[in-house]
């Protein structure tokens, strides 16, 4: 092969490698990122209530410094609960009020379930995020005489997070929106609670 041909071949190989590296890098970024929502949510995993990640400014109180959303909506308070289903199903319990609330369950690949407060029954919204196996177990252990009000969601991934958004349509509702986010509880459902009467 002529020297020029060899250089040409090397350049073509380089471009092919560039394409492969590009694809691999784009696919790897969500997995290795330490600044994405999942990685940040996992730092506050032990909390039993939603971690507030965007607190609305109320009166003289400026928004809290923990905010890391790039362009947050200034009228929406955001809270986050990280889950790791290998520890057990996650139960997210929220009381709905006059403010509009929405919850979305995110896995590694995006939001696979979303629900708003219109789905609430008697003012409460209970989501249980579980794996397929845990779901089957819950079905098997279910008491037929007892109606479960939980919304059961089978997760696509073991790890993820639940986002709670409460919209304050007027500035005077901002404090209430912050409190509504804070009031959302995220607990790991253990087997004993599952069979508890009235639970």
Partner 1 sequence: MTTPADTTRMPALPRDGAGIRRLGGVARDRARATLRSASDISLVVYALVLGGGLGLASADYATSGGYPFGGVTVGPWTAWPRAGAVGADPYTRAVNARRGEIPLGVGEGLLITAAQDDEGRVLDAGCTYSVAGVTPPARAWTLTVAGRGARPNGASSLREAFTSTEILREADGTFVITLAPQAQPGNWMPMPRPSGPVRLALRLYDTPVAASAGTLDRSALPAIRRNGCRT
The site for partner 1 (CB under 8 A) is made up of 3-4, 6-7, 9-11, 13-22, 24-27, 29-30, 33, 35-37, 40, 53, 62, 68-71, 73-76, 78, 80, 100, 102, 104, 106-107, 109-116, 118, 156, 163, 165, 167-171
Closer CB to partner 1, 9 or 139, in the complex:
9
CA R_g for the chain: 22
Q: Is 180 exposed, middle or buried (0-12, 13-18, 19+ CB in 10 A)?
A: buried
Percentages (nearest 5) of helix, strand, coil residues in the chain: 35, 30, 35
Instruction: Please identify, using beta-carbon distances, which residue of 123 and 191 lies nearer to partner 1.
Output: 123
Q: How far is the CB of 18 from partner 1 (least distance, A)?
A: 4
- Closest by Cα among 49, 53, 76, 82 to 66: 53
Q: How far is the CB of 176 from partner 1 (least distance, A)?
A: 14
Contact between 79 and 182 (Cβ < 8 Å):
yes
> Rounded to the nearest whole angstrom, what is the least distance from the CB of residue 127 to partner 1 in the complex?
13
CA–CA separation, 124 and 29 (whole Å): 37
CB of 195 to partner 1, least distance (A): 31
């Amino acid at each position: 092969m002529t020297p020029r041909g060899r250089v040409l071949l090397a350049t073509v190989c380089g471009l092919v490698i560039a394409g492969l590296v590009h694809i691999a890098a784009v696919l790897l970024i969500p997995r290795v990122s330490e600044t994405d929502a999942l990685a940040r949510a996992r730092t506050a995993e032990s909390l039993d209530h939603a971690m507030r990640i965007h607190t609305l400014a109320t009166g003289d109180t400026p928004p809290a410094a923990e905010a890391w959303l790039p362009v947050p909506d200034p009228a929406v308070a955001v809270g986050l609960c990280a889950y790791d289903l290998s520890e057990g199903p996650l139960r997210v319990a929220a009381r709905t009020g006059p403010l509009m609330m929405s919850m979305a369950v995110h896995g590694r690949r995006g939001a696979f379930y979303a629900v708003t407060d219109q789905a609430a029954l008697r003012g409460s919204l209970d989501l249980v995020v579980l794996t397929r196996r845990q779901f089957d177990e819950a079905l098997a252990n279910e008491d037929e005489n007892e109606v479960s009000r939980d919304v059961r969601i089978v997760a696509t991934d073991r790890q993820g997070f639940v986002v709670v958004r409460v919209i304050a349509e007027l500035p005077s509702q901002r404090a209430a929106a912050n409190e509504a986010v804070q009031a959302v509880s995220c607990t790991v459902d253990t087997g004993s609670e599952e069979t508890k009467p009235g639970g």
